[in-house]
Structures are given as structure tokens and as C-alpha cells.
Amino acid sequence: MSTGARGFGLAALATSIVLSAAGQLAMKVGMRELHRVGIGALASADWVALGPALSWTIVGVAAYAVSMLAWLLVLARHPLSYAYPFLGVSYVLVYAVATQWSALAEPSSPLRTFGTLLVVAGVVLVSATGAHRQPTS
Amino acid sequence: MDELLLASAILLLAAAQVLQKRGAVRHLAGGPGPGGWRSALVSPEILAAIACLAFGTALWLAVLYRMDVSKAFPLLSAGTILVLIASRVLLGERVSPARWGGAILVAIGVALVAAS
């Protein structure tokens, strides 16, 4: 694989990871807004009240969609079992921002922090081992 | 209810990963040329992946409506285990013992987050 192609693959991987975390957080803010105005606003199609909820949700889903397209480019170059675990980085991003950002301010507990770290350790172990041979193209 | 929503979302999103990989390998392996993109986007694998993604994302929004994202998102990593199993069984990729060890760590982490 040429250096340029590898750089492109890494850029796609980084884009995918950051946007997938941002998408989760924006979708959660959207659902919080929906919770705030009440789900009845959906039934009565109160678009003014639904504005913030819909905006955040659409932004979140769009970020998620773009992260998926970048992911497709990554998958064209790497085995799934190699590429997928790198998404583990996004667990750290989501956890850090969800608990530290005032818009969400989710409670963190030692159990949840430790569990999340185990998840990250697991996905790093899955991705760092096995020395997968790159496709020879 | 929360568990059922979560399990369905995880299953659909993991299935989308495997379908995307099959589509990418079959149609984009030579690089993202214009013809490759078109045949990839209308391939059965990618259309099925998009359907799984759309339905899975709708369920995921329902999960986020009910649950902290700092709790729900780590639980989504249970999909990693499903994808690892699928990459072995359906895609025929080799999975080393160390990778299975990683999957076990993920499973323990998921159990702890679920209990939090």
C-alpha cells in the first residue's frame, strides 16, 4: 500500500471515530430536548417546540451517517476484525464529554468508569494483537 | 423494555457492520472509483446494511431517550463481540486467541456498565 493510500485510510479512520462520538452526543442532546418538551409535542406536531430536539437529532444522525461513509472507506482497506476495535476510542470521547459537558452533565460512577475502561482495554487488545496481514494491493 | 430495545438496536447495528464489510470487499476493493461507488451503493449488501442502520438508529434514539449516553454507548460495544464472531463465522477472517481475550474483557466491561 502506498504512503498516500495509508494516510487516506488513517484520515478516514480518524474522521469516522470523531464523528461517531459527536453523533452520539448530539443525538443524546436531541433526545434530552425531546424529553424536556414532552413526547406529546411529536403527536401534536408542534414544530416550534420541537425545534431544538429535531435540530440536535438531525445533526447527530448526519454526523453518524458521515462517520459510516468514512467507515466504509476504512473497511475497503482493512479486515473488519482489525478496523472495528479502533472505534473503542470513541467510547472514551463519549464518556468524557457526556460527564463533563454541562449540556449533558451525566453522573459518573466508579463502576461505570471502570466498566468503560475495561471495554476500551478489551477493544484495544482486540485491535493490537494478531498482526493481521494487510491485503497485498 | 429498555433491554429489548437495546438488544435489538445492538443486533441491527452489528449486522449493518458485517453487511457493509461484505459490500465494501466485493465492490470497493480496487479503491473508491466512480463505478465502484455506484455498484457498491446499489448492491444488496449495502442496501440491506442501510436498512439495518436506519431501523437500528431509530431504536437507538429510543434507547437514548430513556438512558444516559454514558451508560448506553459502552453497552453498544457488546456489538464488538457479535462482529468478532460474525467476522470469524460469516466472513472467514482469522481471529486470534488474544482477540477472543479482548472480547471477554469487553463482555465484563459491558456487564459492569449495565450494573452501574
pLDDT in tens, A37-49: 888 888 888 888 8
pLDDT for the residue B62 = 95
Could you list the mean pLDDT of each consecutive 10-residue stretch along chain B, which spans 116 residues? 88 86 73 65 85 93 94 88 83 82 91 91
Q: How far is CA A83 from CA A48, A100, B21, in A?
A: 42, 28, 10
pLDDT for the residue B96 = 82
- How far off is chain A from B114, nearest CA to CA, in Å? 8
Chain A's closest residue to B71, CA to CA, is A112
Distance, in Å, from the CA atom of A116 to the CA atom of B72, rounded to the nearest integer, reads 11
Residue whose grid cell is 424536556 = A36
Q: Is residue A100 within a helix (H) or strand (E), and if so which, with residue range?
A: helix A88-100
Domain boundaries, chain A: 3-128
Q: Alpha helix locations (H) across A44-109?
A: 47-75, 80-83, 88-100
- The percent of residues in chain A predicted with pLDDT above 90, rounded, is 45
- The percent of residues in chain B predicted with pLDDT above 70, rounded, is 91
pLDDT for the residue A128 = 61
Stronger pLDDT, A6 or A120, i.e. the higher one? A120
Stronger pLDDT, A72 or A50, i.e. the higher one? A50
Does B24 contact A75 at a Cβ distance shorter than 8 Å?
A: yes
pLDDT classification of A71: cutoffs 50, 70, 90? confident
Distance, in Å, from the CA atom of A87 to the CA atom of B32, rounded to the nearest integer, reads 22
Chain A, 20 to 49: residues with Cβ < 8 Å from chain B are: 24-25, 27-28, 30-31, 34-35, 39
pLDDT for the residue B30 = 61
Reported pTM = 0.81
- What average pLDDT does this structure show over A15-22? 94
Chain B, 41 to 60: residues with Cβ < 8 Å from chain A are: 53, 57, 60
Tell me the residue type at A131.
Answer: A
Distance, in Å, from the CA atom of A134 to the CA atom of A108, rounded to the nearest integer, reads 39
pLDDT classification of A134: cutoffs 50, 70, 90? very low
Query: Do the beta carbons of residue B52 and residue B11 sit within 8 Å?
Result: no
Distance, in Å, from the CA atom of B46 to the CA atom of A12, rounded to the nearest integer, reads 19
Chain A, 95 to 134: residues with Cβ < 8 Å from chain B are: 95, 98-99, 104, 106-109, 111-112, 114-127, 129-130
pLDDT for the residue A119 = 92
pLDDT above 90 for A106? yes
pLDDT for the residue A21 = 95
- How far off is chain A from B59, nearest CA to CA, in Å? 12
pLDDT classification of A82: cutoffs 50, 70, 90? low
Distance, in Å, from the CA atom of B23 to the CA atom of B45, rounded to the nearest integer, reads 5
